Amino acid sequence: VEGRCQELAAELRRHGVRVEVDARHNYTPGWKFHWWELKGVPLRLEVGPRDMARKTCRAVRRLDGASKDLDQSQLPGAVQRELDDIHSAMLAKATGERDGGIARASSWSEVLPLLAQKKLILAPWSEAPESEKLIRSQTREAADDAALTGAMKSLCIPLSQPPLGEAKCFFTGEPAK
C-alpha cells in the first residue's frame, strides 16, 4: 500500500499538486486524519488494502466532510477538479459573508445602528480630513451609549462602485467625491 501511495503521490506532483504521504506507523488512521485536518489540508486521499483491490482512492474534503471514491488511473484530473471545486465553494462563501457584512448609508442617522450591527458601511463622503476627525470623535463618544467597540474610520474607496452623481456626504452634506 505504501509503495502505491508513493507512486500516486509522484504522479500528482508531476501534475503540480502538493502532496504529502503520511506513512507513520505509530499513529492510528483517525489520529492522522485529525492531524491533517488541523493543518488545514483541503483534500485528504486515503488508500487502504480494499482501495488497492478496487484501484480507487477515498477523497475527503475538509470544507464539508464529503467523501467520494476516485479512480486511481484518473487521479490527477479528479484531484484538480476537487481542489478547484473546493476553491470555488470557499470563495463563494467568503464573498457572501463579506457582502453580507456591508451596508449602505446615505445619512449620519443611519450610521450608528449599522455600526452596532458590526457592519462595514459604504457611504458617500466628501473626503475632507476634518470630517474624518469629527466622525472618529463622534463615534468614539457614541461608542459607550451604542455598545460599539471603538471609533469609525475610513478604510478605502472601492475599486468598482456605481457613479455617485449628485450624492452628498453622509456626514457634512457637502458634495461627495
**Maximum distance among all Cα pairs of the chain, rounded to whole angstroms:** 74
The three-state DSSP-derived secondary structure of 3-60 is HHHHHHHHHHHHCCCCCCCCCCCCCCHHHHHHHHHHCCCCEEEECCHHHHHHCEEEEE
Residue of 72 and 137 predicted with greater confidence: 72
The amino acid sitting at 24 is R
Which residue bears the cell 475527503? 60
With bands split at pLDDT 50, 70 and 90, how would you rate the model's confidence at 166? confident
Q: What is the pTM of this model?
A: 0.77
Lowest pLDDT segment from 15-19, 119-123, 162-166: 162-166
pLDDT tens sequence across 83-119: 999 999 999 999 999 999 999 999 999 988 888 888 9
**Does residue 120 contact residue 158 with C-beta atoms inside 8 Å?**
no
Q: Which residues contact 32 (CB under 8 A, 6 or more apart)?
A: 22, 24
Mean pLDDT of 49-78: 97
Mean pLDDT of 149-171: 81
* CA distance linking residue 45 with residue 101, whole number of Å: 35
The amino acid sitting at 36 is W
* C-alpha dihedral sign at 128, 134, 140, 143: negative
Whether pLDDT at 161 is above 80: no
* CA distance linking residue 66 with residue 151, whole number of Å: 43
Whether pLDDT at 16 is above 90: yes
pLDDT in the model for residue 158: 79
Whether pLDDT at 146 is above 70: no
* Host H or E run for residue 121: strand 120-122
pLDDT in the model for residue 159: 80
Q: Kindly list the structural domains of the chain, giving each domain's residue range(s) and its CATH number in brackets, ordered by start.
A: 2-99 (3.40.50.800), 101-177 (3.30.110.30)
Whether pLDDT at 17 is above 90: yes
Residue 79 CB neighbour total at 10 angstroms? 21
pLDDT tens sequence across 19-43: 999 999 999 999 999 999 999 999 9
Which residue bears the cell 483534500? 43
